A and B are shown apart, each in its own frame.
Chain A
Amino acid sequence: MRYMVMHYQTQDMEDGVKPSPEQQAEIGAYMQEAAQAGVFLTGEGVHGSSQGARVEVADGDVRVIDGPFAEAKELIAGFAILEVDSLAEAIEHARKFALLVGTHRVDVRRVIEYADLA
């Protein structure tokens, strides 16, 4: 089963502070390990919201708001798709990743497969 693991932005990330070389190496090593275990299928991180935009729809009106957004902590900073045997295994990876990147929150959600829709 697949899980999407999404970690949340920290104020540092939002301010464009790059992780230290040591931290980058640790994160890289972890991702390599997860890929080697056949668990990590894909994943991406995103830049701070100052380089993004938000599209809001209300009553059929579409509004485009340029970044940065005020509530940095509510923003997704990146995601990974993991192929694991259980929610517990996905959580284990999320826990490890959360500690490595220093985020305050990681959401773990099961990916909907075709078989689930039948």
Chain B
Amino acid sequence: MESARVIARLTRIVGDVDTAEELAQDAFATALEKWRGEGVPANPAAWLHKTAHFLAVDRVRRRDTQRSKYREVAAREPAAVELDLDADLADDLLGLIFMVCHPILAPDARSALILKLVCGLSTDEVARAFLAPETTVAQRIVRAKKTLSAAGIRFELPPENERPARLDAVREVVYLLFNEGHTATSGDQLVRHDLAAEALRLGRMLAALAPRDPETLGLLALMELQASRLAARTAADGSAVLLMDQDRSRWDQLLIRRGLALLDQVDALGGNAGAYALQAAIAACHARARTPEETDWQRITALYDGLAQISPSPVVDLNRAVATAQAFGPEAGLAIVRQLQELASMRSYHLLPAVAGDLLCRSGDHVAAREEFLRAASLTRNNQERSTLQGRAADCAAGHA
């Protein structure tokens, strides 16, 4: 993540992300060469930032000399030269995110740019996250950068009255990043702890920036609570462990406490809870249950009903089906699932047949359950998830025999 911070800092100095990326690469290359000869310095991050900083100031000076704007740079430089590693970094990174979340960019372009610049994903990885061809995503990223620089969008935290408009997008991006860490779209690892940790950190920075915004606190609460279960989500062999089967002693009580405290703050702010806060409240129900049997499924069902109203989506309905089945029996859940099976948009979503399989299995229809699990296994791109689903299909066959 050091790369994102260096890019953020450089963007603030040179003004556009293209140059910043290029300079960051120069700084890393210089560092590697230097460190190979002289050994790694005591504080590599500070060293990198300092090197990048000098490269940037040099670049700005040369460029602005060409444009006869030297006077302006001279006026700006003294403040910029003082290297305050601790104080500025958080603002740099958030500034970069706010810049990229400018309404001038379409949501797809902005998410792609964020994943590339802030999350440090390769273009190939970004492409996979969007299920789009690499060339398409590469073009999208290039165009987004051009749009930003053509419009002269400045790198800075927007004034307070402009923040709410971008805050929605920023929250979305942070949660997208968290989700990519929570369940990697593809590849061999189920959880990418580095991405989840960075999203959490950004969420905390954002909450500090908007301490009275219920949805921002709600988002952070949601991430803290979901992160509290990350260690318990994978078994020793790397396979996924379902929520109800997780060893709850491995849930991170510190993060749970932080999540619950944030939800209390959301309540104290009053008003109706938004989509993130509602999802956090659902996560809190799980966090509070010491054993799976203690889970308050009726409350969770009610929260999903509320969520389906303010932010209707098939995915929310699918979760609502799971909760409803837990609270009122598998048939009640299957009724919702059957409606979802009619939707074209859900046809390639592997979790729908996975849930259908689970509910059918519980209602005793092992033959139909097995088919659903196999369909789900054929649809997922995550290898760990696939083998879990194949295992369940095999269990169903055994249960039937």
Determine how close the nearest CB of chain A comes to the CB of B79; give it in whole angstroms: 19
Instruction: Determine the distance from Cα of A114 to Cα of B231 in the docked complex, in whole angstroms.
Output: 7
Annotate B6-47 by CB proximity to A: 1 below 8 A, 0 otherwise. Answer: 000000000000000000000000000000000000111100
For B258, list chain A residues within 8 Å (CB). 41-42
Taking A41-B255, A85-B2 as known contacts, 16 extra A-B pairs with beta carbons closer than 8 A to each other, sorted by chain A number, are A33-B86, A33-B90, A36-B204, A37-B86, A41-B258, A85-B1, A85-B45, A86-B45, A88-B43, A88-B45, A89-B45, A92-B43, A92-B85, A113-B231, A114-B250, A118-B236
Residues of B with Cβ closer than 8 Å to A? 1-2, 42-45, 85-87, 89-90, 197, 200-205, 208-209, 231, 236, 250, 254-255, 257-258
Assuming the contacts A35-B208, A38-B201, A38-B204, asked whether A81 and B254 have C-beta atoms less than 8 A apart, the reply is yes
Determine how close the nearest CB of chain B comes to the CB of A84; give it in whole angstroms: 10
A37:B201 contact, CB within 8 angstroms: yes
Determine how close the nearest CB of chain A comes to the CB of B107; give it in whole angstroms: 25
Our pick among A42, A86, A88 for the contact of B254 (Cβ within 8 Å) is: A42
Assuming the contacts A114-B231, A118-B236, asked whether A88 and B86 have C-beta atoms less than 8 A apart, the reply is no
A96:B201 contact, CB within 8 angstroms: no
Q: Is A83 an interface residue (CB 8 A)?
A: yes
Cβ < 8 Å to B, chain A residues 74-118: 81, 83, 85-86, 88-89, 92, 96, 113-115, 118
Q: Which residue of A lies closest to B90 (CB)?
A: A37
Determine how close the nearest CB of chain A comes to the CB of B235; give it in whole angstroms: 10
Annotate A11-45 by CB proximity to B: 1 below 8 A, 0 otherwise. Answer: 00000000000000000000011011111011000
Q: Which residue of A lies closest to B85 (CB)?
A: A92
Instruction: Determine the distance from Cα of A32 to Cα of B43 in the docked complex, in whole angstroms.
Output: 23
For B250, list chain A residues within 8 Å (CB). 114
For A113, list chain B residues within 8 Å (CB). 231
Instruction: Determine the distance from Cα of A92 to Cα of B1 in the docked complex, in whole angstroms.
Output: 18
For A86, list chain B residues within 8 Å (CB). 45
For A85, list chain B residues within 8 Å (CB). 1-2, 45
Instruction: Determine the distance from Cα of A37 to Cα of B90 in the docked complex, in whole angstroms.
Output: 5
Can you give 23 contacting A-B residue pairs, CB < 8 Å?
A: A32-B208, A33-B86, A35-B204, A36-B209, A37-B86, A37-B89, A37-B204, A38-B200, A38-B202, A38-B203, A41-B255, A83-B201, A85-B2, A85-B45, A88-B42, A88-B43, A88-B45, A92-B43, A96-B86, A113-B231, A114-B231, A114-B250, A118-B236
For B202, list chain A residues within 8 Å (CB). 38
For B42, list chain A residues within 8 Å (CB). 88
Assuming the contacts A83-B197, A89-B45, asked whether A36 and B90 have C-beta atoms less than 8 A apart, the reply is yes
Nearest 5 interchain pairs by C-beta = A38-B201, A38-B204, A36-B208, A37-B90, A114-B231
Annotate A48-83 by CB proximity to B: 1 below 8 A, 0 otherwise. Answer: 000000000000000000000000000000000101
A38:B254 contact, CB within 8 angstroms: no
Determine how close the nearest CB of chain A comes to the CB of B345; give it in whole angstroms: 35
For A115, list chain B residues within 8 Å (CB). 231
For A83, list chain B residues within 8 Å (CB). 197, 200-201
Q: Which residue of B lies closest to A115 (CB)?
A: B231
B231:A37 contact, CB within 8 angstroms: no
Determine how close the nearest CB of chain B comes to the CB of A43; give it in whole angstroms: 11
Interface centre among B2, B85, B200, B208 (most CB of A within 10 A): B208
For B87, list chain A residues within 8 Å (CB). 33
B205:A38 contact, CB within 8 angstroms: yes
Q: Which residue of A lies closest to B231 (CB)?
A: A114
For B236, list chain A residues within 8 Å (CB). 118
Instruction: Determine the distance from Cα of A66 to Cα of B204 in the docked complex, in whole angstroms.
Output: 41
Instruction: Determine the distance from Cα of A115 to Cα of B201 in the docked complex, in whole angstroms.
Output: 20
Determine how close the nearest CB of chain B comes to the CB of A103; give it in whole angstroms: 19
A88:B197 contact, CB within 8 angstroms: no
For A42, list chain B residues within 8 Å (CB). 254, 257-258
For B205, list chain A residues within 8 Å (CB). 36-38
Instruction: Determine the distance from Cα of A86 to Cα of B194 in the docked complex, in whole angstroms.
Output: 13
For A37, list chain B residues within 8 Å (CB). 86, 89-90, 201, 204-205
For A36, list chain B residues within 8 Å (CB). 90, 204-205, 208-209
Determine how close the nearest CB of chain B comes to the CB of A85; give it in whole angstroms: 7
For A89, list chain B residues within 8 Å (CB). 45
For A118, list chain B residues within 8 Å (CB). 236
Instruction: Determine the distance from Cα of A83 to Cα of B205 in the docked complex, in whole angstroms.
Output: 13
Determine how close the nearest CB of chain A comes to the CB of B211; give it in whole angstroms: 10
Q: Which residue of B lies closest to A111 (CB)?
A: B254
Determine how close the nearest CB of chain A comes to the CB of B201; give it in whole angstroms: 3
Determine how close the nearest CB of chain B comes to the CB of A117; give it in whole angstroms: 10
Instruction: Determine the distance from Cα of A36 to Cα of B257 in the docked complex, in whole angstroms.
Output: 18
For B201, list chain A residues within 8 Å (CB). 37-39, 83
